[in-house]
Amino acid sequence: MDCMRIQSTLSHSHSKNWKYDVFVSFRGDTRFNFTDHLCAALRRHGILAFRDDTRLEKGGPISAGLLQAIEGSQVLIVVFSMNYASSKWCLQELAKIADCINIPGHRVLPVFCDVSPSEVRKQSGNYEKAFVEHEERFKKDAEMMEQVRRWRAALTQVASLSGWDLKDKSHSAEIEKIVKTVTKILGPRSSSSLSNDIVGMEFPLQKLGKLLVLDSDDDVRVVGICGMGGIGKTTLASRLYEKISYQYDVSCFMDDVSKTYRDCGSLGMKKQLLCPAFMEEDSLICNILMADNLIENMLHDRKVLIVLDNVDQRIQLEKLALKREWLGRGSRIIIVSRDEHILTEYGADEVFKVPLLNDENALQLFCRKAFKCNHVAKDYEGLTDSALAYANGLPLAIKVLGSFLFGRDVSEWSSALVRLKETPTKDIMDVLRISFDGLEDPEKEIFLDIACFFPNDIENYVKDILRIRGFHPDNGIKVLIEKSLITRDRWKITMHDLLRDLGRSIVREKSPKKPRKWSRLWNHKDLSNVLRENKPAENVEAIVLPTNDEIREELSLKALSKMSRLKLLKLGQVKVNFSGKLHFLSNELGYLSWKEYPFTCLPSRFQPTQLVKLILRYSNVKELWKGIKYCKQLKWLPSTLLPIGEGSHGRLYYGGIFVFNCPNLSDTESCGVTVISWMIKMIQVNMQSSSPRCVIQVVIPGTEIPRWFNNQNEGSSMKLDPSPILNDNNWIIGIACCVTFVVHDTPTQLPEEPKYPGDLGCGFRLRSGGSYFAVPIRLKKDLITTELDHMLLIFFSRDRIIDHYTSHLKEGRCDLDGIELATLSEYPKEIIQVKSCGYRWVCKEDLEQLNSTMMYSANSSTQNKKGKFLAIQ
């Protein structure tokens, strides 16, 4: 490497590196009272004070080390007492201190303990007596007599400076004033341990300062700092503390509150708050009541700054019992946590989410660690890009990785970066895992599913799969966001690459070389190995391969049949040349998606009772027994498909059957009747549950909207009449919608690969925005070879349209005027043309009388006019 020198670009408040903050010159008569209390107060505020308690006055000159301590101290405090001038040693210190008055950076502060400033300045009273003795003693020594004259001048010079006269004043109050003055002189100071890690702090510090409203003393504010592990929360809080702590009467930075509470309990936390800020010894604090009283009394009406670092449980804040009303105006509390919910529940006024480093700052930090300079060494440019892509803006990863690579040659870098993709760095994973270990079991499972399968995917789609898996994604995803394990970006959820790697390493950790023992499989290599081994894989619960993954090996299907716990199977664009037959899958299978399915028939033993979705696009399947699919070679569907049980615990049930682009269906009307019969049964089953909540979709061949949908319109949208629900007494159970559309055969405009997760969506639109449910129809060139008309039918339970929308409207249901049924396509009408749409408010009586002929046949008559529905037409 051609770069080995560190070049610091950090700004410093002072040009000189001081050895000590404060030097205290004093006579022994104040050692155990005022001076002792002053030095203790300085220490409590993190001020490094030098005082010479070991000196023995033997008449000789003060040591060179003492002179260096004076020169190396920024603030020089002289405590003048009654007997100060009788000490030759003190006067020698004073002469040196006087020499420093005119040196830039030094500041001299006199304190008059039991003597008046005038007595010191004029050397009268006891000071006069002392100098009579000195002059008598050295009258025959010309050199020492010159020193005595210098001492007199020093006394006059220092005593003339602005300082503190303690006569008839409270020593403790004056000490507070002295400490406050010293902290202002010292100002913000950078920690040497942080100096090389402070990159990209300017914007976060400015943002945090605005949230804290530092220029106002009107109130007490609590601000939270949150973010994923290793993102720099503690570094940011420490840097801010260094910059602003001098402005407060009391300041305390509580390191690792979580560890303190775990090791020492609530009393230990209270001592950590009290001892650095108020006293030297904690042995006097023997119980919680005493600690609480001390905290309240000590903090009362004082302007304080308290930083609580690494709070990972709400109970830690509860046990600390730090109340806002105790604090003086202008006080600030900063709480650092990975869990945003802890901060909001505590009542933080603002929460600052620490961002990842941008590319420029990430590069700067990496160079400091990997090259010990601010630029990339020659021949390392491409490898640096790879390393930064792996770290993805996470400061911890950048520092660990850069430090590890420092001093290594190009080949070592290449090898290390390849190995990192297979085995993440333990130092990084250990920090990130803390957040995972703090999750409850259901949230751990959701985290692992997202890490393995959906680290960057559409939120509604991910929630759909998680529901099928039996999880509660609405709450689970919210928890993961609050704990900084995932983020929401509009309609997508994303997970940092290193958190993704963490989740996958957790799945692998017990049997890293045996994927058949993992709970999840996410790449074709591991699945190939499992299938090739043909051994029981009873731990596997889910298999999801990327959309563009391909398998071309000759594999046996017997291993799939042995996955008794398999609930999710999604093989994307996999092209497999399998040998053997699939006899059965797990009865717990809830989702099966296979875009290019290799079989012509699924036998009758394939009966997954929990199946919600089975998607087999553009495959060769010609016969199905108990399967539910839409395929290019599909010949027929069975006449009966059994409904699936309703969702449990009141969660939203979301299911569907999609028969799309199946030109070889021998009887499209029978297919439509079969699918809609299933849909009706699904609605009926779910509506009988204690908390009916469902969205059920089907796509089937069809050209006209059935007359049962009594509100119809040509085009892709139409206004809804909300009058039936304005005075609704809960007898409307939902709304059924129908859309007819055609996908045109336009090879020049169709994409090589599907662009979107759902190319057609249906939902409801208000002035303030809309909410759509996408249908998993993905378009691809050379697969849409026939222009077929299709119908999309969706049933929304009442909460999906009525309760969901009215809960957000200022005027309640009256504000539903203007709501529209609308379709949304990611493609122009030259590719996807929506021809017509319609809807019907569905009441309980409708559901009892509803049959597939009504919902499918375009020639069906309007339902019984004596029904309640007529009253709201």
Q: What does the alpha-carbon distance between residue 325 and residue 448 come to, in Å, rounded to a whole number?
A: 43
> Kind of pairing, strands 221-226 and 332-336?
parallel
- Buried b / exposed e over 571-594, threshold 16 CB at 10 Å, is bbbbebebeeebeebbebbbbbbb
Task: Enter the tokens of residue 192.
Answer: 């040497």
The overall longest dimension of the chain from CA atoms, in Å, is 133
Residue 778 corresponds to which amino acid? Answer: R
Task: Enter the tokens of residue 371.
Answer: 């090259």
> Kind of pairing, strands 653-658 and 350-353?
unpaired
Give, in order, the Cα–Cα distances in Å from 41 to each of 243, 855, 860: 20, 83, 90
Q: What does the alpha-carbon distance between residue 656 and residue 682 come to, in Å, rounded to a whole number?
A: 9
Q: What does the alpha-carbon distance between residue 770 and residue 685 come to, in Å, rounded to a whole number?
A: 28
In residues, how long is the chain? 873
Ordered DSSP codes for 506-530: HHHTTSTT-GGGSSEE-SHHHHHHH
Task: Enter the tokens of residue 859.
Answer: 């020639």
Ordered DSSP codes for 35-99: HHHHHHHHHHTT--EE---S----SSPPPHHHHHHHHTEEEEEEEE-TTGGG-HHHHHHHHHHHH
The 10 Å Cβ neighbour count of residue 279 is 16
* Radius of gyration of the CA atoms of the chain, in A: 38
Q: What does the alpha-carbon distance between residue 118 and residue 240 come to, in Å, rounded to a whole number?
A: 43
223: alpha, beta or left? (left if phi > 0; alpha if psi -120 to 50): beta
C-alpha 199, offset from chain centre: 20
Q: What does the alpha-carbon distance between residue 313 and residue 103 come to, in Å, rounded to a whole number?
A: 51
3 state DSSP class of 844? helix
The owner of tokens 């994409």 is: 751
Task: Enter the tokens of residue 767.
Answer: 């002035």
Q: What does the alpha-carbon distance between residue 454 and residue 77 come to, in Å, rounded to a whole number?
A: 63
Ordered DSSP codes for 150-165: HHHHHHHHHHTSS-EE
Torsion of CA 822, 826, 831, 833, to 10 degrees: 0
Helices (H), 187-246: 192-195, 202-212, 233-244
Q: What does the alpha-carbon distance between residue 476 and residue 447 come to, in Å, rounded to a whole number?
A: 8
> Kind of pairing, strands 591-593 and 613-615?
parallel
Quick check: 759 and 778 in contact, CB under 8 A? yes
The shares of helix, strand and coil residues in the chain, as percent rounded to the nearest 5, are 40, 20, 45
Angle at 230 between CA 226 and CA 232, to 5 degrees: 60
Helix 497-508 and helix 426-437: axis angle, to 10°? Answer: 80
Quick check: 622 and 601 in contact, CB under 8 A? yes
Identify the burial level of 623 via C-beta atoms within 10 angstroms of its C-beta, where 0-12 means exposed, 13-18 middle and 19 or more buried: middle
C-alpha 406, offset from chain centre: 30
Which residue is catalytic, options 93, 340, 541, 588?
93
Is 533 marked active-site?
A: no
Residues known to be catalytic: 93
